[in-house]
Chain A
């Protein structure tokens, strides 16, 4: 069997399975939180409880922060690390590693399925939030351009984080814990360091893509010394590809030992 056909088989099977998985349902609910918050602000703005423009401001200050600093990385952590970890927990890896298909094909097929699922979850929630926030600007091309930029940045962030957590999941069993430390420790703190140091976080490159003028974005751009957009896109793509190659490298060479061996 050609490897690209095998990739399609793995991708389609695990995408279908992923749609029915409990984890997906949990993240659908979690993804609804910012949408519901956004709708509440919109309703209050419409009723006059909040001043005009409150929804747009809420979107820029809270929703974007929720997505880029919490939802996207956490979603990437759970979907990315589960690519290998889930197979180890359920002891099902043996079925995918005793077929005449390269291990890299299995990993990439599963990665693509997980990425598409996570991307759909992020994009759907993000779209609903954006529509609620920009109801009055929907006729303007600039609004749709902004949406494209937000979605593009979110998908690049998702790709990069997921590839990183996929490598962590292929390398160690308790990758969720390490991933949480990374998201809420390293990423949350180092992004505020001055100079070059903040460039060692993924979130720095993601924020550099967001179309918020300096000084107007609240804590999202606090002390951000943005990099040029093209450089940020290339940095995210390069990091994503590097982490994915690392996942493949680990997965092809590592033996996975279950506790019942011996």
Chain B
């Protein structure tokens, strides 16, 4: 099967800052999650794929054609950029209508396509309002509308859930899954693993400009889960809590914090540890002020996976 998107030896840097390096990747139909910490190169990859940037070395083709300065391709491609940008003085309906007309729809068809796109993201009733009056989340949904209004075969979404309220997160995730079910190609970038997990099993891990791993999310999840997690707990009696925790099967080590009111626990079974933690605290009658996990960000996981 011919891939929809194909990158070969793809590299891009800005001055002496590396964007992406030597990427070989083929993406076919369905949903692919592009996962990596901030600055990993996800946006650079998507911007090259959307014809916003030129590769420095290598090639990237969509539907077998190079993308930069190839306007014909944009009938088949939809791109939702990550940055919060819009023609603030325009009304949302006017903005979407402009794009609909530039996509080649005229008159009633353009109006119908615009209305459908705005309706899909729940902004139809706000179409007459200037964009400058929109909240961040509404502008994010408007960007999504701008990328789907022409029913593209290849849809690329750069952090599409950023700033969106919980209800719309669920709806957007469902919309993306529906696109995937229709056999279209959807590429979604995020630095939040659960967001990607909710959409697809197929992920590409990108880190420091390189493809770090590619494949089924469960395999990646396994790697991540085997990473010893650190959990910080603040409580008035850290020694009593430590006594209780070291007896648990899920705790690898306990360290006291310099403030005398906190401790850091290392566990190899994060989920089971959290399940038992509440029970242990309740049984010992201890008071806990705060529980945080510094490992809950993707950067920490990547650092672990690459052996830093």
Partners in one complex: yes
Q: How far is the CA of A48 from the CA of B43 in the complex (A)?
A: 70
Contact pick for B50, options A1, A98, A258, CB 8 Å: A98
Chain B residues, CB < 8 A from A5? 106
* B97, chain A: closest CB distance, angstroms: 9
* Contact A94-B79, Cβ < 8 Å, known A21-B89, A99-B71, A257-B14: yes
Chain B residues, CB < 8 A from A255? 52-54, 68
Chain B residues, CB < 8 A from A95? 87, 95, 99, 146
Indicate whether B285 reaches chain A with its CB closer than 8 angstroms. no
Q: How far is the CA of A140 from the CA of B50 in the complex (A)?
A: 61
* Contact A92-B14, Cβ < 8 Å, known A9-B98, A257-B53: no
B86 lies within 8 A of A97 (CB): no
Indicate whether A100 reaches chain B with its CB closer than 8 angstroms. yes
Indicate whether A13 reaches chain B with its CB closer than 8 angstroms. yes
B89 lies within 8 A of A17 (CB): yes
Q: How far is the CA of A5 from the CA of B14 in the complex (A)?
A: 36
Q: How many residues of A contact B (CB 8 A)?
A: 31
B41 lies within 8 A of A101 (CB): no
A1 lies within 8 A of B103 (CB): yes
Chain B residues 48-100 with CB under 8 Å of chain A are 50-54, 68-69, 71-75, 77-79, 81-83, 85-90, 94-95, 98-99
**Nearest 3 Cβ contacts at the A-B interface:** A91-B85, A1-B104, A99-B102
A residues in contact (CB < 8 Å) with B = 1, 5-6, 9-10, 13, 17, 20-21, 90-92, 94-103, 252-253, 255-258, 260-262
With contacts A1-B101, A90-B85, A103-B71 known, what are 15 further pairs, Cβ within 8 A? A6-B101, A10-B102, A13-B94, A13-B98, A17-B87, A91-B83, A92-B85, A98-B51, A99-B99, A100-B103, A255-B53, A258-B83, A260-B82, A261-B43, A262-B41
6 contacts between A and B (CB under 8 A): A1-B104, A91-B85, A100-B102, A103-B71, A255-B52, A260-B83
